[in-house]
């Protein structure tokens, strides 16, 4: 037991601190996002979020302490489990707003797509580790890697959950890049992907197309699909430098920000409205701490596996943060990608904390003790 | 710490990833800076624009009171039942707002036993444009209705009792022409329109004092700001600035005298088949203050309030008798013999009339080569007539002769000196000039030269001469006070809401007659005799214990329907030290002496609280 506590004490405390700061902020601003005015009844999402963080701590500690090399030996199992769950959700998942993303029992549910993200990181890291440098520079490696990512990606697309599916791409490319796959190959694959984009367009659902066209021109339909983006922009912009004050965000309070998705997708808009540029810069700063700590951990990992694992996690978290914040200010299309640690939602809180636990794992085990 | 940590695997590709992430976060920060710092004002404005609604509260008009503080116009609360449409229920494709409103209204309509008079269109427009504001359904409820509503409406969603100020004229039609009336402003202030999302217009004065003092009575509008949610429903109040009550206007009018005058006019004895149309003005000859100004028929300015059926209003507006016309200042009439004092004074001054001269009246006279002789109203003739008895008995022949002797220029000059043919300068309403014809005027207007016959007609107040009752009252006042022509006025004082005096009207002399006091006194004495003597034409205006001086007039006037007679009386009392001067006009009377003089007598008796002389019988055509 003492050995585990000693190990835990060797974790990266700066990374831990940033995580705690975001978690505390998450609870406060989920409260604010569901606040309806003094004395008004409000949904108690923030309490559930506290519970998720509580569960998350256990997952976090476990992910940090069980040696990542041991974990990765089971990569194939994790991967198979994730794919199995993705298949299961398509069959037995609960249909919400026309998409099957939830595997649930009663009010408790998980999103297999979140598990798949972590499983892909583990499996791809493990796969790339076991390729010799020569093989990593061949086309064959690229195709297998793409195949490993492609299977869950397609399954997630079928749900459909375009945002989560897209997250797998930077994970894949980040890992291949750091693992030493030729840049020429990566560029060719990218070009191929772009060439296939028009085909993918045909496969998109109407609402997905709308979101993308609205991103290109938010005022095309200001009361329909452009509404969320416009209202988010107004919320963020009207926050100004120092914000309107906690629980004072009128865009949120009056319901101009869409109530159903604000605690998840538009939590950043609430923070930006109530705390202004100062608040949003703090959020971006905390992510910078987490991401650069992650890269430092990658650089200091005792082996290639640790480096790859850390890189995969960083890629995943960065993509989430960038897409979500970018979405609130019209820089990115509206997708339901949550903000790591801040957005309301159990599955992604657990996935994020597992990912951060993995980072700590690589850090803790960076030397042979 | 990040930088100083050793890069054990100094993998350049890891550094590349770091650069990409750094760049990505920098782009986010830069764009957040652009949105939140550089464009904060723009987005802040959009935030306000979409969630804040400024609503204008119309100002409450100030009071109008008489010289003694008797309230002539103020505001009373109107209890209206209104619906907040946004609280009635969910509007959807299936549930139209009109149907929802109908369903809700039906219950209340049944409970209160009052029919709904709201058009579907009104409901829809209100819902689309003014959703957070109450939609008035029943206005100005009687107290028992208010009680019934309070009892039964507690369970009705969206229904509310709202109180709005309504203009009230507590004395009804009293002084209606002086007070005027109000209406909703149709020309809205554009700057205001921009400031307010929901514009509730002020009332503006349309006539009379309400119009003349509009800017003082109007007060300042207030406003309040509410927050609305995306559905347009009100979610809270942000701020409120109450409307300011307008200023208080004190008139020179005396409500007691006004009432006496209106009642006296009402009681004017008319021959069968004639409708009462007329006017009367009572002035203070010492300063020009108008104590009463009445016009008949009158109207009740309360009908212009919201909630009064349009038919009622239209009936008044389209009434062929023009009840809304203020005949005391807005209509011109030939003064007839009431003008004779002017001719007399002109003649005395010119030397063409001497108090001792006399002529013989045979009832007719030939003037120039006129085809027909000029007649006296008394066709049997007055016999020997001097200046004094010519006024007292109103002999036309005397004034034909003496008028021609005096000359048109001297008469018109004197008429001008006494304020005829020019605006009186009164501070409320239209101010007609009337008409004093001159040879030059006739040449231009009629293309004809001025004949002696014209002068003769002018001398007895006919020809083309026109004057308003107010002008005639001013003239009577100037004779009464021995030569000072005052500017008549109605607005004595205006106080702002706080009580400080904004405007105080000082009496203003328009003209001081330079004619000799003896001549003026002679005219005054003749006018005294015209009333006090038993054979005076104006004896029906005599009041016991009061020395009344005056002059009657009967001007024949050719109308399409036939000849009608304008019956006039002008006068002042008491003779020695006049406190009131007055004029009475009946548009279609029998004669000044029979129709107008008794009205004047009743007015004077009322003002001085004395009894009229009992006068019986007499010739119907006593001029």
What is the rounded distance in angstroms from the CA atom of residue B194 to the CA atom of residue B252? Answer: 40
Q: Model confidence over A94-152: pLDDT tens digits?
A: 777 667 778 876 566 788 999 999 999 999 999 999 887 877 778 888 999 999 999 99
Selection from A286, A55, B2, A17 nearest residue A63 by Cα: A55
End-to-end CA distance of chain B: 120
- Across the interface, of B10, B18, B36, the residue whose CB is closest to A292 is B18
Model confidence at B2, in pLDDT bands (50, 70, 90)?
A: very low
pLDDT of residue B46: 83
Specify the higher pLDDT residue, A62 or A368: A62
The answer to whether residues B20 and B137 belong to one domain is no
Q: Report yes or no: A36 at the B interface, CB cutoff 8 Å.
A: no
The answer to whether residues B455 and B474 belong to one domain is yes
The answer to whether residues B31 and B63 belong to one domain is no
The answer to whether residues B219 and B349 belong to one domain is no
Cβ atoms of residues A327 and B36 within 8 Å: no
| Interstrand relation of B248-251 and B64-65 (parallel, antiparallel or unpaired) | parallel
With 70 as the cut, is the pLDDT of residue B371 above it? yes
Q: Model confidence over A14-46: pLDDT tens digits?
A: 999 999 999 999 999 999 999 887 777 888 899
Q: Report yes or no: A287 at the B interface, CB cutoff 8 Å.
A: yes
pLDDT of residue B620: 44
Q: For residue B320, tell me if it sits in a domain.
A: no
The answer to whether residues B352 and B456 belong to one domain is yes
Local structure of A121: helix, strand or coil: helix
- Across the interface, of B2, B13, B32, the residue whose CB is closest to A329 is B32
Query: How many Cα neighbours within 13 Å face the side chain of B614?
Result: 0
The answer to whether residues B67 and B211 belong to one domain is yes
Q: For residue B48, tell me if it sits in a domain.
A: no
**Alpha-carbon torsion B577, B579, B581, B584, what sign?**
negative
Q: Model confidence over A312-355: pLDDT tens digits?
A: 999 999 999 999 999 999 888 877 789 999 999 889 999 999 99
Local structure of A314: helix, strand or coil: helix
From residue B68, alpha-carbon distances to B72, B172, B488, B582 in Å are 11, 18, 19, 20
Query: How many residues does the structure list for chain A?
Result: 369
Q: Going along B533-591, which residue ranges are E strands?
A: 549-559, 562-573, 580-589
Share of chain B above pLDDT 70, in %: 91
The answer to whether residues B186 and B330 belong to one domain is no
Cβ atoms of residues A284 and A325 within 8 Å: yes
The arithmetic mean of pLDDT across residues B588-603, rounded, is 92
DSSP states along B375-390:
E-SSTT--EEEEHHHH
- Across the interface, of A281, A288, A366, the residue whose CB is closest to B32 is A281
pLDDT of residue B94: 60
Chain B residues interacting with chain A (CB cutoff of 8 angstroms): 1-2, 5-11, 13-14, 16-18, 21-22, 24-25, 27-29, 31-33, 35-37, 39-40, 42-44, 46-47, 50-51, 227-230, 235-236
Local structure of B75: helix, strand or coil: strand
From residue A39, alpha-carbon distances to A34, A36, A55, B52, B272 in Å are 13, 8, 30, 22, 77
CATH code, domain carrying B428:
3.40.710.10
pLDDT of residue B79: 84
What is the rounded distance in angstroms from the CA atom of residue B250 to the CA atom of residue B356? Answer: 49
What is the rounded distance in angstroms from the CA atom of residue B92 to the CA atom of residue B319? Answer: 48
ipTM exceeding 0.95? no
Share of chain A above pLDDT 90, in %: 60
Q: For residue B321, tell me if it sits in a domain.
A: no
Selection from A347, A137, A330 nearest residue A215 by Cα: A330
Domain closes at, from B221, B249, B277: B249
Q: Report yes or no: A93 at the B interface, CB cutoff 8 Å.
A: no
pLDDT of residue A224: 54
With 70 as the cut, is the pLDDT of residue A4 above it? yes
- Beta partners for B580? B573
Token digits of residue B541 = 């205006």
CATH code, domain carrying B137:
3.90.1310.10
The answer to whether residues B86 and B19 belong to one domain is no
The answer to whether residues B476 and B524 belong to one domain is yes
What is the rounded distance in angstroms from the CA atom of residue B322 to the CA atom of residue B314? Answer: 12
Task: Say what angle helices A226-239 and A267-300 make with each other, to 10 degrees.
Answer: 80
Q: For residue B601, tell me if it sits in a domain.
A: yes
The arithmetic mean of pLDDT across residues B495-507, rounded, is 91
Minimum mean pLDDT range among A61-70, B10-19, B346-355, B601-610 = B10-19
**Region of B175 on the Ramachandran plot (φ > 0 left; ψ -120 to 50 alpha; else beta):** left
The answer to whether residues B219 and B269 belong to one domain is no
DSSP secondary structure code for residue B37 in this structure: I
pLDDT of residue B621: 47
The answer to whether residues B208 and B353 belong to one domain is no
Q: For residue B292, tell me if it sits in a domain.
A: yes
Chain A, window 169-188: residues with a beta carbon less than 8 angstroms from a chain B beta carbon: 174, 177-178, 180
Q: Report yes or no: A237 at the B interface, CB cutoff 8 Å.
A: yes
Model confidence at B396, in pLDDT bands (50, 70, 90)?
A: very high
pLDDT of residue B62: 92
Model confidence at B1, in pLDDT bands (50, 70, 90)?
A: very low
Dihedral, A255, A257, A258, A261 alpha carbons, nearest 10: -120
- Across the interface, of A254, A296, A318, the residue whose CB is closest to B227 is A254
Share of chain B above pLDDT 90, in %: 53
B235/A300 Cβ within 8 A? no
Minimum mean pLDDT range among B39-43, B153-157, B427-431, B513-517 = B153-157
Number of domains composing chain B: 3
The answer to whether residues B178 and B262 belong to one domain is no
Full domain range(s) for residue B259: 255-315+326-608
Minimum mean pLDDT range among B115-119, B372-376, B381-385 = B115-119
Token digits of residue B273 = 């088949």
B31/A299 Cβ within 8 A? no
DSSP states along A42-64:
---HHHHHHHHHHHHHHHHHHHH
Q: Model confidence over A246-267: pLDDT tens digits?
A: 998 888 888 888 877 888 889 9
Q: For residue B6, tell me if it sits in a domain.
A: no
Q: For residue B3, tell me if it sits in a domain.
A: no
The distance between the two most distant Cα atoms of chain A, rounded to a whole number of Å, is 67
Q: For residue B46, tell me if it sits in a domain.
A: no
């Amino acid at each position: 037991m003492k050995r585990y506590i000693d190990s835990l004490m060797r974790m990266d405390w700066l990374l831990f601190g940033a995580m705690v700061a975001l978690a505390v902020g998450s609870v406060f601003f989920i409260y604010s996002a569901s606040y309806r005015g003094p004395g008004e009844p409000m949904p108690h999402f923030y309490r559930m979020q506290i519970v998720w963080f509580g569960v998350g701590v256990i997952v976090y500690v476990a992910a940090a302490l069980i040696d990542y090399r041991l974990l990765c030996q089971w990569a194939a199992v994790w991967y198979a489990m994730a794919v199995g769950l993705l298949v299961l959700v398509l069959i037995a998942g609960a249909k919400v707003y026309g998409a099957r993303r939830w595997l649930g029992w009663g009010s408790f549910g998980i999103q297999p797509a979140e598990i798949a993200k972590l499983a892909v990181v583990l499996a791809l890291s493990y796969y790339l580790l076991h390729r010799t440098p020569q093989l990593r520079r061949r086309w064959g490696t690229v195709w297998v890697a793409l195949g490993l990512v492609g299977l869950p990606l397609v399954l997630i697309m079928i749900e459909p959950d375009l945002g989560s599916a897209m997250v797998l791409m930077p994970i894949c490319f980040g890992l291949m890049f750091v693992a030493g796959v030729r840049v020429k190959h990566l560029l060719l694959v990218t070009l191929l992907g772009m060439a296939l984009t028009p085909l993918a367009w045909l496969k998109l659902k109407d609402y997905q197309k709308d979101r993308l066209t609205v991103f290109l021109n938010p005022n095309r339909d200001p009361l329909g699909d452009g509404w969320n983006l416009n209202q988010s922009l107004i919320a963020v912009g009207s926050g100004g430098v120092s914000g309107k004050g906690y629980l004072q965000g009128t865009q949120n309070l009056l319901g101009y920000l869409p109530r159903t998705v604000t605690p998840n997708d538009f939590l950043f808009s609430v923070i930006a409205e109530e705390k202004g540029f100062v608040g949003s810069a703090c959020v971006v700063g905390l992510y910078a701490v987490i991401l650069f700590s992650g890269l430092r951990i990658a650089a200091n990992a005792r082996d290639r596996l640790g480096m790859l694992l850390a890189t995969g996690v960083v890629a995943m978290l960065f993509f989430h943060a960038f897409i979500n914040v970018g979405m609130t200010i019209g820089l990115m299309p509206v997708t339901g990608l949550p903000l790591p640690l801040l957005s309301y939602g159990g599955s992604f809180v657990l996935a994020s904390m597992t990912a951060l636990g993995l980072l700590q794992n690589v850090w803790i085990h960076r030397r042979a003790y | 710490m990040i930088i100083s940590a050793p890069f054990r695997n100094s993998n350049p590709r890891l550094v590349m990833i770091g650069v990409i992430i750094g760049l990505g976060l920098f782009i986010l920060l830069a764009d957040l800076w652009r949105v939140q710092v550089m464009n904060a004002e723009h987005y802040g404005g959009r935030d306000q624009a979409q969630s804040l609604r400024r609503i204008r509260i119309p100002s409450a008009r100030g009071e109008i009171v008489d010289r003694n503080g008797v309230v002539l116009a103020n505001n009373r609360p109107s209890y209206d039942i209104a619906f907040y449409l946004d609280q009635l229920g969910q509007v959807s494709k299936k549930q139209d707002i009109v149907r929802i409103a109908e369903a809700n209204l039906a219950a209340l309509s049944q409970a209160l036993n009052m029919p709904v008079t709201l058009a579907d269109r009104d409901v829809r427009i209100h819902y689309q444009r003014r959703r957070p504001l109450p939609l008035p359904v029943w206005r100005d409820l009687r107290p028992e209705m208010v009680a019934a509503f309070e009892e039964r409406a507690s369970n009705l969603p969206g229904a509310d009792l709202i109180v709005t100020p309504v203009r009230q004229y507590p004395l009804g039609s009293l002084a209606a022409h002086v007070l005027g009336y109000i209406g909703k402003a149709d020309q809205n202030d554009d700057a205001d329109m921009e400031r307010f999302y929901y514009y509730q217009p002020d009332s503006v004065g349309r006539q009379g004092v309400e119009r003349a003092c509009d800017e003082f009575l109007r007060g300042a509008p207030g406003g309040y700001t509410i927050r609305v949610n995306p559905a347009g429903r009100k979610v809270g109040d942000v701020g409120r600035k109450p409307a300011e009550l307008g200023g208080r206007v004190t008139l020179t009018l005396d409500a007691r005298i006004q009432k006496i005058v209106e009642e006296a006019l009402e009681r004017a004895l008319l021959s069968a088949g004639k409708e009462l149309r007329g006017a009367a003005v009572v002035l203070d000859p010492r300063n020009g203050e108008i104590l009463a100004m009445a016009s008949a028929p009158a109207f009740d300015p309360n009908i212009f309030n919201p909630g009064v059926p349009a038919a009622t209003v239209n009936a008044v507006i389209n009434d062929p008798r023009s009840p809304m016309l203020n005949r005391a200042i807005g209509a011109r009439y030939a003064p007839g013999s009431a003008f004779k004092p002017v001719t007399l004074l002109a003649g005395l001054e010119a030397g063409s009339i001497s108090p001792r001269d006399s002529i013989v009246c045979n009832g007719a006279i030939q003037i120039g080569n006129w085809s027909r002789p000029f007649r006296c109203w008394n066709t049997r003739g007055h016999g020997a007539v001097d200046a004094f008895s010519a006024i007292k008995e109103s002999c036309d022949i005397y004034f034909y002769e003496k008028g021609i002797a005096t000359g048109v220029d001297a008469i018109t000059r004197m008429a001008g000196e006494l304020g005829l043919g020019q605006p009186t300068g009164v501070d409320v309403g239209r101010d007609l000039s009337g008409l004093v014809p001159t040879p030059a005027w006739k040449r231009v207007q009629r293309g004809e030269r001025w004949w002696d016959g014209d002068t003769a007609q002018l001398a007895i107040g006919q020809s083309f001469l026109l004057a308003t009752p107010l002008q005639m009252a001013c003239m009577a006042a100037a004779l009464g006070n021995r030569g000072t022509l005052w500017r008549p006025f109605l607005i004595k004082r205006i106080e702002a809401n706080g009580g400080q005096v904004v405007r105080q009207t000082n009496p203003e002399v328009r003209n001081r007659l330079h004619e000799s006091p003896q001549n003026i006194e002679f005219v005054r004495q003749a006018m005294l005799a015209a009333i006090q003597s038993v054979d005076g034409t104006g004896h029906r205006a005599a009041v016991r214990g009061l020395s009344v001086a005056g002059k009657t007039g009967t001007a024949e006037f050719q109308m399409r329907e036939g000849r009608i007679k304008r019956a006039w009386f002008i006068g002042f009392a008491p003779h020695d030290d006049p406190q009131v001067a007055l004029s009475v006009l009946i548009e279609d009377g029998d004669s000044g002496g029979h129709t107008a003089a008794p009205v004047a007598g009743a007015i004077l008796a009322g003002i001085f609280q004395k009894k009229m002389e009992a006068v019986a019988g007499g010739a119907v055509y006593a001029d």
